[in-house]
A and B are shown apart, each in its own frame.
Chain A
Amino acid sequence: MADIPENAPQHCPGTGSTEAGKSSACQGCPNQSICASAATSAPDPAIEEIKEKMSLVKHKILVLSGKGGVGKSTFSAHLAHGLAQDEGKEVALLDVDICGPSIPRMMGLEGEQVHQSGSGWSPVYVEDNLAVMSVGFLLSSPDDAVIWRGPKKNGMIKQFLRDVDWGEVDYLIVDTPPGTSDEHLSVVQYLSAAGIDGAVIVTTPQEVSLQDVRKEINFCRKVKLPIIGVVENMSGFICPKCENESQIFPPTTGGAEKMCTDLNVSLLGKVPLDPNIGKSCDTGKSFFTEIPDSPATLSYRIIIQRIQDYCEKKK
């Protein structure tokens, strides 16, 4: 159902369907014989190749959210920084947000390019044990827009998973765009044989955001992706002058806490709004080193510990 080519005739049943090559819409389609031979319904050979590649990766974590701008990339970047503080661990961060890659800037890697080597694309290293890959490294100018439809984005994601030379890695963190569409289906599909430890879902406290996040949780259940837990970001703001707390994005329906009880998923923690977080993301620095004592940093540490515990227990 999901694999109708761009240039397919109307009512194309999809190349993977049992009707492929046989339905009335297939009459006259130049690819009819390929579809009818069932070659297209076999699983993509890349899935096996990716499994091979991923056998060197111990833990794979997806960062998801139905809603945009809730802090997926901020969270992914700092999950990577936090895990990489243990020098014995190798961490990789993959940005599959093809149309809006934010990871290069947040990691202070704007303008970096990817190099080709015999064993594939070499990722860009922030530290000795922290490797990053993003479509942002493949663009020639910061104004370049990637105006691609689904199939091209999927091809890129496949290449990222199959052709990047990560080496031996303890944690692979995958940052995704908002929604429940091509990018998400592709990552889950391509990693299906290799196995994903689970997904971390990021939300903000308002209902407008939670309603999209509930959809994302349903998506995870549909594709049988385990959920590590939910992070509530931007929850409360402490005024730097008077130190009183106020709710910029009020949790009118009980916030993430109530949603987690209702849907039976665990709440990993709440992160308050801190203007310094935005600033350190803009300048590409880790706020673990910039603002080590901020309440936001402390709650990040607890969340990262919980994720680590979850992954260790799974092994």
Chain B
Amino acid sequence: MEQTQDGGNLSGVHHIILVLSGKGGVGKSTISTEIALALRHAGKKVGILDVDLCGPSIPRMLNAQSKDVHQCDSGWVPVYVDQEKSISLMSIGFLLEKPDDAVVWRGPKKNALIKQFVSDVAWGDLDFLIIDTPPGTSDEHISTVDALRPFNPMGALLVTTPQAVSVGDVRRELTFCKKTGLRVIGIVENMSGYVCPHCTECTNIFSKGGGEELARLSGVPFLGCVPLDPLLSQSLEQGKDLMQEFPNSAAYPAISSITRQILDMASPQS
């Protein structure tokens, strides 16, 4: 693993961001995808590494599920979403023969693949590498953080939904970050509030304010609330770019504001 001390395939990557959450289904992959798309709009080159091995969602969300990974001299060539090669992807979804194949693996096998994903993908030059993770604080997370430590990641973005049940799991994830020495970029509250398309009444289906409260209590930045938006789920189901297809979506301003804060944090570093 340590054959190339000078960075190897990650040497051209400026900022590494991990997207974490203790809870499943809160929108880690959604936020990863939307932030990647927003960073592209800001003219950045972005890579997404999906280390959710049992439930990879990123290929579908970027409409790349039928593509293949190829080999080159320096390793695996990631899948490019567009002609300009501004977003590149790597996910176990590209390595499965049939899309419905279950990856029934215990920890050690998952860890081996994650190490390969970190060291063997030829990303080339990237402004940002976003790492989308499965829920929890177990094998995938320990291995990813361990493998990335030499590359000094910019930090972790924690995603939660507003309910107490979800915030409780994200508190544990904060402890994980503290214990592993990973900086927390901030907390994003997803699915906060839903505007009825018939009467424009806003209902807090999963309550409200849990993420902000947690950020305040634990002293980490709060980056914003992303509302529940059927347009957002629709654009992800079809693998479309929210900003191009649905510019008046309610989720759009929230995501661009989060992205701007990330860009601000990244600029003094480089």
Answer yes or no: B241 CB below 8 A from chain A CBs: no
Distance, CA A198 to CA B161, complexed state (A): 31
**Residues of chain A from 197 to 212 with CB closer than 8 A to chain B in the complex:** 204, 206-209, 211-212
Contacting residues, chain A, for B135 (C-beta < 8 A): 68-69, 99-100, 177-178
Answer yes or no: B197 CB below 8 A from chain A CBs: yes
Contacting residues, chain A, for B161 (C-beta < 8 A): 69
Contacting residues, chain B, for A246 (C-beta < 8 A): 196-198, 230
0/1 interface trace, chain B 172-185, chain A, CB 8 Å (1 if under):
11111001100000
**Residues of chain B from 160 to 174 with CB closer than 8 A to chain A in the complex:** 161, 163-166, 168-169, 171-174
Distance, CA A6 to CA B110, complexed state (A): 12
Distance, CA A151 to CA B110, complexed state (A): 13
Q: Are A180 and B237 in contact (CB under 8 A)?
A: no
**Residues of chain B from 67 to 124 with CB closer than 8 A to chain A in the complex:** 99-111
Please judge, given known A-B contacts A237-B194, A252-B238, whether A100 and B207 are in contact too, CB under 8 Å. Answer: no
Q: Are B108 and A6 in contact (CB under 8 A)?
A: yes
Answer yes or no: B2 CB below 8 A from chain A CBs: no
Answer yes or no: A24 CB below 8 A from chain B CBs: no
Contacting residues, chain A, for B165 (C-beta < 8 A): 73, 102, 105-106, 278, 281-282
Answer yes or no: B258 CB below 8 A from chain A CBs: no
Contacting residues, chain B, for A68 (C-beta < 8 A): 23-26, 55, 134-135
Q: Are A66 and B55 in contact (CB under 8 A)?
A: yes
Please judge, given known A-B contacts A100-B136, A151-B107, whether A244 and B199 are in contact too, CB under 8 Å. Answer: yes
Answer yes or no: A125 CB below 8 A from chain B CBs: no
0/1 interface trace, chain A 270-287, chain B, CB 8 Å (1 if under):
000101001101100000
Minimum CB–CB distance for A129 against chain B, Å: 24
Q: Are A215 and B102 in contact (CB under 8 A)?
A: yes
Q: Are A207 and B60 in contact (CB under 8 A)?
A: yes
Distance, CA A185 to CA B109, complexed state (A): 14
Counting chain A residues whose Cβ lies within 8 A of the other chain, the interface size class is 35 or more
Contacting residues, chain A, for B136 (C-beta < 8 A): 99-100, 177
Contacting residues, chain B, for A204 (C-beta < 8 A): 25
Minimum CB–CB distance for B179 against chain A, Å: 6
0/1 interface trace, chain B 14-37, chain A, CB 8 Å (1 if under):
000000001111100100000000
Q: Are B104 and A180 in contact (CB under 8 A)?
A: yes
Q: Are A70 and B25 in contact (CB under 8 A)?
A: yes
Please judge, given known A-B contacts A147-B142, A250-B237, whether A178 and B55 are in contact too, CB under 8 Å. Answer: yes
Counting chain B residues whose Cβ lies within 8 A of the other chain, the interface size class is 35 or more
**Residues of chain A from 58 to 116 with CB closer than 8 A to chain B in the complex:** 66-70, 73, 98-100, 102, 105-106
Minimum CB–CB distance for A285 against chain B, Å: 12
Q: Are B233 and A250 in contact (CB under 8 A)?
A: yes
Answer yes or no: A240 CB below 8 A from chain B CBs: yes
Please judge, given known A-B contacts A66-B54, A215-B55, whether A242 and B196 are in contact too, CB under 8 Å. Answer: yes
Q: Among B106, B142, B168, B201, which residue has its beta carbon within 8 angstroms of that of A182?
A: B106
Q: Among A150, A219, A281, which residue has its beta carbon within 8 angstroms of that of B163?
A: A281
Closest to B28 in A: A68
Q: Are B233 and A206 in contact (CB under 8 A)?
A: yes
Q: Are B234 and A273 in contact (CB under 8 A)?
A: no
List chain A positions with a Cβ less than 8 A from chain B.
2-4, 6, 8, 66-70, 73, 98-100, 102, 105-106, 142-151, 153, 177-182, 184-185, 204, 206-209, 211-212, 214-219, 222-223, 237, 239-242, 244, 246-250, 252-253, 273, 275, 278-279, 281-282
A sample of 23 cross-chain residue pairs with beta-carbon separation below 8 angstroms, ordered by A number, consists of A67-B25, A143-B174, A145-B173, A149-B139, A178-B54, A178-B134, A181-B110, A208-B236, A208-B237, A211-B99, A212-B57, A215-B55, A217-B100, A219-B102, A223-B104, A239-B201, A241-B201, A241-B203, A244-B198, A250-B233, A275-B205, A278-B206, A279-B207
New contact pairs (15) apart from A99-B22, A147-B180, A222-B102, CB-CB < 8 Å:
A99-B172, A142-B171, A145-B172, A177-B136, A185-B106, A208-B236, A215-B100, A218-B102, A239-B201, A241-B199, A242-B201, A250-B230, A275-B203, A275-B204, A279-B207
